[in-house]
């Protein structure tokens, strides 16, 4: 191997640290806001749902569904699954589209959580405490993924790993909110 | 074509994220006019304010129930014939109901309990 073709280890480390810093800053900022902000306890718009919480439960479910599309399209792009047998040229665009839509659907949910309910810092309120932590972590991981996606020459494992972390956090959020809502209040509860 | 749609949507998402951050700091719900002093001392008035600010998110604006159970129409009185039991639940929490001890004063808890037992049933 000639010296000029060696991977730029320092550059890779710098980009990874930048992604971690951006993600950490986003997560911590949201947590600090949720902790310091005086919750308004006001409902927001409901669209055609009967209450804001119903809207949130279903929007979060839509986000998870879109994230599943992200996972499946990513698996196909990485060749981990072979369906469809020939990779369509628009697969990458569908991957980006599902991610963008998922992010947009998540914003009103997160807004109500932060602005109306705030950060649950009492660990004895286990579900809400875990949900608060995961909510902040999710957006931090998402921001880190956006940095990683745009960074060049990173090792091949980085993007799938960060994407998996984002998806795992999202599933945790859904389990501690929408699933709880559907089990506690009823399903389907529009 | 799809690529252009996605590019445009990503811009919209970026704007939405910026709006999200701005609204976190800028948006304040319209404040209700201050109640006259005599009305403010009325436990039902205090209870209504406490309910609107803290309970309506889960129990519905009129106590009709949402995530939390229905309270209006005498439902809460049937569930807790003894008011002290309801005060204990509001104070210490139970199952999905958070504990309000430390976040509301005992007087506010008593007021909001009274409001759910009598004020919500008037409508």
Tell me the ipTM for this assembly.
0.87
| pLDDT given at position B33 | 53
Are B46 and B34 a contacting pair, CB within 8 Å? no
CA distance A63 to A120: 22
Q: Which of A100-109, B60-69, B77-86 bottoms out in mean pLDDT, i.e. has the lowest?
A: B60-69
Q: How far is CA B25 from CA A34, A121, B59, in A?
A: 11, 20, 26
CB contact under 8 A, B57 and A43: yes
Burial class (CB in 10 A: 0-12, 13-18, 19+), B22: exposed
Using a cut of 0.90, tell me whether the model's pTM lies above it.
Answer: no
The CA-atom distances, in angstroms, between A3 and each of A7, A14, B111 are 9, 20, 77
pLDDT value at residue B45? 82
How much is the average pLDDT of A86-106?
96
Residue A21's pLDDT is what?
97
Nearest-angstrom CA–CA distance, B11 and B17: 10
What is the rounded distance in angstroms from the CA atom of residue B113 to the CA atom of residue A138? Answer: 37
Which pLDDT does position A38 carry in this prediction? 82
B49 vs A178, residue with greater confidence: A178
Of the candidates A51, A19, A60, the residue with the CA atom closest to the CA atom of residue A150: A19
CA angle B23, B97, A178 (to 5 degrees): 60
Cα–Cα distance, B69 to B50 (Å, whole number): 17
Q: How far is A51 from chain B (nearest CA, A)?
A: 7
User: Mean pLDDT lowest for which of A65-74, A132-141, B19-28?
Assistant: B19-28
Percent with pLDDT over 70 in chain A:
96
pLDDT band at A156 (very low <50, low <70, confident <90, very high): very high
Q: Let me know: does B16 contact A104? Beta carbons within 8 Å.
A: yes
**Spatial separation of the C-alpha atoms in residues B40 and B49, rounded to whole Å:** 9
A37, A40, A41, best to mutate vs chain B, most B CBs in 10 Å: A41
* Residue B75 clears pLDDT 90, i.e. is over it: no
Write out chain A residues lying below 8 Å of B10, CB-based.
96, 100
The mean pLDDT value for A106-114 works out to: 95
List, for residues A41-82, the tens digit of each pLDDT value.
Answer: 777 778 888 778 889 999 999 999 999 999 999 999 999 999
Contacts of B18 in chain A (CB under 8 A): none
The whole-number pLDDT of residue A2 equals: 46
Over 80: is that where the pLDDT of B38 sits? no
pLDDT digits (tens, 9 = 90+) for A162-173: 999 999 999 999
Q: What is the mean pLDDT of residues A91-96?
A: 96
3-state secondary structure of B96: coil
Q: Please, which pLDDT band fits residue A135 given cuts at 50, 70 and 90?
A: very high
Whole-Å CA distances, A150 to A110, A156, B3 = 25, 13, 17
CA distance A76 to A41: 43
Cβ–Cβ gap A96/B6 under 8 Å: yes
Alpha-carbon gap: B37 to the closest alpha carbon of chain A (Å): 23
Chain-wide mean pLDDT for chain B?
A: 83
How is residue B84 written in tokens?
């002290």
């Amino acid at each position: 191997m000639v010296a000029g073709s060696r991977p730029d280890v320092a550059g890779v480390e710098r980009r990874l640290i930048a992604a971690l810093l951006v993600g950490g800053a986003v997560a911590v900022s949201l947590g600090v806001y949720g902790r310091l902000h005086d919750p308004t306890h006001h409902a927001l718009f409901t669209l055609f749902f009967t209450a804001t919480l119903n809207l949130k439960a279903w929007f979060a479910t839509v986000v998870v569904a879109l994230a599943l599309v992200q996972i499946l399209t990513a698996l196909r792009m990485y060749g981990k699954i072979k369906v469809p047998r020939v990779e369509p040229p628009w697969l990458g665009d569908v991957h980006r589209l599902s991610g963008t839509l998922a992010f947009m659907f998540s914003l009103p949910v997160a807004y109500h959580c932060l602005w109306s309910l705030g950060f649950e810092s009492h660990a004895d309120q286990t579900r809400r405490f875990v949900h608060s932590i995961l909510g902040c972590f999710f957006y931090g991981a998402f921001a880190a993924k956006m940095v990683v996606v745009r960074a060049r020459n990173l090792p091949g494992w980085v993007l799938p790993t960060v994407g998996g972390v984002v998806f795992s956090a999202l599933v945790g959020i859904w389990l501690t909110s929408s699933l709880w809502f559907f089990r506690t209040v009823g399903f389907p509860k529009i | 074509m799809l690529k252009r749609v996605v590019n445009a949507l990503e811009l919209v998402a970026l704007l939405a994220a910026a709006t999200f951050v701005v609204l976190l700091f800028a948006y304040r719900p319209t404040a209700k006019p201050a109640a006259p002093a005599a009305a403010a001392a009325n436990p039902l008035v205090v209870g209504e304010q406490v309910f609107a600010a803290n309970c309506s998110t889960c129990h519905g604006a009129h106590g009709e129930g949402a995530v939390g159970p229905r309270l209006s129409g005498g439902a809460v009185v049937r569930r807790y014939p003894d008011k002290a039991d309801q005060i204990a639940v509001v104070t210490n929490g139970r199952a999905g109901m958070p504990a309000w001890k430390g976040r509301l004063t005992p007087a506010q808890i008593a007021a909001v309990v009274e409001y759910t037992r009598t004020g919500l049933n008037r409508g």
